[in-house]
């Protein structure tokens, strides 16, 4: 009887081994072997259309399928807006030819088409609010954090968590759960927001954990990727990588921690401090060593996804594991939902650091933060246009409380305005509209804020500085840059160059980036030459009034070459002016720090809101441009 029972056990184990080998050779078979309490489909379309039937457009949505021409006309049609509301649209109607200036800018037509729908929705909301009266004003819409900590909320299917106002740099998603089931595979997807009538949303990050490997390897692996309707799945990034070399870094962090995939001998993870039984899993002498992997079946894991400046980082149990660079047009502000599926028993999901505006009743310094309306064609010494995205509420508030408080700004010698595109999310646009009308320092742009079309903002800044105002100098900077505008103005006056000036951190011999996965990738069709003409780095550069006027003039004529890297585009435009006879003066300024902060800066880039406040405090206390260091 014992022999018979032992034979059954051996037969059962042998069957499991055969099943395991079959699954590895046939990854798609996993879907038929899932635990009944979980879903782990690698195919993105399966869980957007779980029945597997062809996607058919709902006739009710046909009314949302509007031509680009119709939407563009709605962007610029007259609206019932007050004079104060129109202050944030002073460059809007000057940009009505953007559709004819879209060649060379990826996603340009899409950005205008989506903006048409977003603008129509925003205007409808504003009209409804006006009709409802002052007592029916909507409260703050964008939360700072979202928590799901009740097991009943997770269920046994795909867990979905809506992100109302997108993500920004510093936002994080913490997932606490235990990989389980037959295979222990699971995935986390950050998907984009969609407008009515749109096809399936893009996947900004596909984070696929395969504890028992895949068809390429039997070893555990993390696969990261993106998906869009236009480009399908992108190129996979694997951790550990297939090749031995993995020198890539994102935000100065390894794309894959070198310990992942190495022999486990001597490696003690953070979980080992409270899961002592793991140490029994270390190989004995002579046994085949196991390999380190941050996730294990049956063991709780705390995984945190964080938005960085250049990409997305994942840490597990407090240890950095992977980094994933943002890909073209797939940026954190676009994230509208988190989806978690597969063999993982969720305990909690916490999203924090979300973009949110300040409650006006709690803004004690509101009066000094507001900007007064500027008379048309008012003469100023310097106009500063600040690039900002719609949900970057905190960065704009940091600028208002710091370098926008310089005396030269407060007395009117320097004017500062934020240039902000629309968002695909209605809540964000409503918050943005309130902010624009409260502080009076925002210029709205008639397009969705994709990175590949920010060159249009450069044109808008030139228009504002020469057509709305009459500025001697026009500067472009970013909302994460701290600009010592008093010192900048002093330097410009000292240089005493009022014509043909490009002032900034100038690059004279740069080459196009030909790396396909780079955010700054340029195809030979976009720029066939080996080198760019001289250009100044985007965190802070200044042009004289005549150059800005030339940009506006060429734009109106339709003769302006569009290029998706806006700072290089300005260099290209200036080179064309030079070829037509303009005398160009390149003034290099090494105190413009493009990669952070160094003592003596005039511009410090990549500054978080708390760092901006710290820099301002140091300047007020010591009168020295010293940096803030955070441990």
The residue ranges of every structural domain in the chain are 143-276+287-352, 360-622
Q: Are 357 and 434 in contact (CB under 8 A)?
A: yes
In whole numbers, what is the pLDDT of the chain averaged over residues?
83
**pLDDT band at residue 72 under the 50/70/90 scheme:** confident
End-to-end CA separation in angstroms for the chain: 67
What's the pLDDT score for residue 576?
96
Is the pLDDT at 198 greater than 80, yes or no? no
Is the pLDDT at 245 greater than 90, yes or no? no
The predicted-structure confidence for 2-32, as pLDDT tens digits, reads as follows 444 455 544 444 454 444 444 444 433 333 3
* pLDDT > 90 in the chain, percent: 58
What's the pLDDT score for residue 68?
61
**pLDDT band at residue 196 under the 50/70/90 scheme:** low
Average pLDDT over residues 443-458: 95
What's the pLDDT score for residue 98?
86
Average pLDDT over residues 376-390: 95
Q: Give the separation between CA 489 and CA 9, rounded to whole angstroms.
A: 83
Token duo for residue 278:
């793991």
The predicted-structure confidence for 111-131, as pLDDT tens digits, reads as follows 998 899 899 999 999 998 888
Give one word for 53, left, alpha or beta, with left for phi > 0 and alpha for psi -120 to 50: beta
What's the pLDDT score for residue 66?
47
Quick one: CA dihedral 501, 504, 510, 511, positive or negative? negative
Give one word for 500, left, alpha or beta, with left for phi > 0 and alpha for psi -120 to 50: left
What's the pLDDT score for residue 71?
64
Average pLDDT over residues 263-292: 50
Q: Are 448 and 421 in contact (CB under 8 A)?
A: yes
Is the pLDDT at 65 greater than 80, yes or no? no
Count of CB atoms within 10 A of residue 215's CB?
Answer: 12
In this predicted structure, which of 31-45, 197-211, 229-243, 472-486 has the lowest mean pLDDT?
Answer: 31-45
What's the pLDDT score for residue 32?
34
Q: Give the separation between CA 418 and CA 400, rounded to whole angstroms.
A: 10
Common-topology check for domains 143-276+287-352 and 360-622: no
Average pLDDT over residues 241-249: 72
> Who's near 261: CB < 8 A, 6+ residues apart?
219, 220, 239, 240, 291, 292, 293
> Who's near 100: CB < 8 A, 6+ residues apart?
558
In this predicted structure, which of 15-29, 228-242, 406-420 has the lowest mean pLDDT?
Answer: 15-29
Token duo for residue 184:
């222990």
The predicted-structure confidence for 488-525, as pLDDT tens digits, reads as follows 999 999 999 999 999 999 999 899 988 876 777 899 99
Which span out of 48-57, 255-264, 386-395 was modeled with the highest average pLDDT? 386-395
Q: Give the separation between CA 25 and CA 32, rounded to whole angstroms.
A: 14
The closest of 317, 270, 269, 261 to 289, measured between CA atoms, is 261
Q: Are strands 249-250 and 237-239 parallel, antiparallel or unpaired?
A: unpaired
Is the pLDDT at 146 greater than 50, yes or no? yes
**pLDDT band at residue 466 under the 50/70/90 scheme:** very high
Q: Give the separation between CA 278 and CA 276, rounded to whole angstroms.
A: 5
* pLDDT > 70 in the chain, percent: 81
Instruction: Say which CATH architecture domain 360-622 belongs to.
Output: Alpha-Beta Complex (3.90)
Token duo for residue 507:
């690059």
Count of CB atoms within 10 A of residue 533's CB?
Answer: 18
The closest of 422, 183, 454 to 295, measured between CA atoms, is 183
> Who's near 176: CB < 8 A, 6+ residues apart?
300, 301, 302, 303, 346, 347, 348, 349, 350
143-276+287-352: what fold?
Jelly Rolls (2.60.120)
- pTM value surpassing 0.95: no
Q: Give the separation between CA 602 and CA 548, rounded to whole angstroms.
A: 22
Q: Give the separation between CA 520 and CA 413, rounded to whole angstroms.
A: 35
Count of CB atoms within 10 A of residue 65's CB?
Answer: 10
Whole-Å CA distances, 310 to 117, 127, 452: 29, 39, 15
Whole-Å CA distances, 536 to 95, 303, 522: 24, 40, 18
Is the pLDDT at 289 greater than 90, yes or no? no
In this predicted structure, which of 194-203, 396-405, 538-547 has the lowest mean pLDDT?
Answer: 194-203
Is the pLDDT at 538 greater than 60, yes or no? yes
Is the pLDDT at 282 greater than 50, yes or no? no
Residue with the bigger pLDDT between 250 and 73: it is 250
């Amino acid at each position: 009887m014992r022999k018979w029972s032992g034979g059954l056990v051996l037969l059962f184990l042998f069957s499991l081994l055969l099943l395991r080998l079959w699954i590895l050779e046939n990854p798609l078979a996993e879907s038929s072997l899932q635990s009944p309490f979980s879903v782990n489909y690698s195919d993105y379309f399966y869980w957007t259309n779980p029945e597997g039937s062809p996607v058919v457009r709902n006739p009710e949505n046909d009314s949302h399928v509007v031509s680009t021409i119709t939407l563009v006309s709605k962007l610029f049609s007259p609206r019932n807006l007050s004079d104060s509301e129109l202050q944030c649209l002073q460059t809007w109607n000057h940009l009505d030819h953007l559709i004819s200036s879209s060649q060379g800018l990826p996603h340009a037509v899409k950005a205008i088409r989506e903006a048409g729908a977003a603008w129509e929705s925003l205007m409808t909301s504003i009209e409804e609010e006006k009709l409802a009266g002052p007592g029916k004003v909507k409260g703050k819409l964008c939360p700072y954090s979202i928590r799901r900590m009740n097991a009943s909320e997770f269920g046994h299917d795909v867990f979905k968590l809506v992100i109302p106002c997108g993500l920004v740099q510093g936002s994080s998603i913490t997932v606490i759960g235990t990989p389980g089931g037959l295979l222990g595979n699971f995935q986390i997807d950050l998907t984009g927001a969609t407008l009515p009538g749109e096809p399936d949303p893009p996947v900004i990050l596909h984070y696929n954990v395969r504890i028992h490997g895949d068809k390429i390897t039997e070893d555990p692996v993390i696969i990261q990727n993106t998906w869009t309707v236009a480009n399908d799945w992108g190129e996979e990034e694997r951790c550990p990588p297939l090749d031995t070399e993995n020198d890539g870094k994102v935000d100065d962090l390894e794309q894959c921690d070198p310990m992942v995939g190495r022999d486990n001998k001597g490696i003690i993870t953070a979980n080992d401090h409270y899961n002592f039984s793991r140490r029994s899993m270390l190989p004995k002498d002579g046994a085949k060593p196991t390999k380190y992997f941050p996730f294990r079946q049956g063991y709780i894991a705390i995984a945190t996804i964080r938005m960085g400046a250049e990409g997305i980082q994942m840490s597990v149990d407090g240890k950095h594991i992977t980094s994933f660079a943002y890909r073209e047009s797939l940026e954190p502000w676009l994230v509208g939902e988190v989806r978690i599926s597969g063999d993982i028993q969720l305990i909690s999901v916490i999203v924090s650091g979300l973009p949110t505006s300040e409650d006006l009743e709690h803004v004690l310094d509101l009066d000094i933060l507001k900007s007064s309306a500027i008379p048309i064609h008012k003469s100023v010494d310097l106009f500063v246009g600040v690039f900002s995205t719609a949900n970057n509420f905190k960065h704009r508030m940091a600028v208002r409380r710091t370098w926008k408080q310089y005396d030269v700004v407060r007395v009117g010698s320097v004017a500062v305005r934020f240039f902000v595109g629309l968002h695909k999310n209605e809540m964000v646009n409503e918050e943005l509209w309130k902010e624009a009308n409260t502080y009076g320092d925002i210029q709205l742009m008639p397009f969705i804020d994709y990175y590949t079309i920010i060159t249009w903002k450069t044109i808008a800044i030139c228009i504002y500085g020469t057509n709305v105002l009459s500025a001697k100098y026009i500067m472009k900077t970013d909302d994460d840059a701290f600009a010592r505008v008093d010192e900048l103005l002093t330097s410009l006056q000292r240089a005493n160059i009022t014509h043909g000036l490009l002032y900034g951190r100038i690059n004279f011999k740069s080459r196009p980036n030909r790396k396909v996965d780079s955010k700054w990738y340029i195809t030979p069709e976009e720029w066939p030459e080996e080198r760019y003409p001289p250009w100044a780095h985007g965190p802070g550069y200044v042009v004289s009034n005549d150059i800005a006027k030339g940009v506006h003039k060429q734009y109106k004529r339709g003769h302006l070459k569009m290029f998706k890297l806006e700072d290089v585009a300005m260099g290209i435009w200036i080179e064309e002016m030079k070829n037509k006879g303009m005398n160009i003066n390149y003034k290099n300024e090494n105190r413009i720090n493009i990669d952070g902060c160094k003592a003596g800066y005039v511009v410090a880039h990549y500054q978080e809101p708390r760092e901006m406040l710290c820099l301002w405090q140091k300047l007020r206390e010591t009168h020295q441009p010293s940096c803030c260091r955070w441990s």
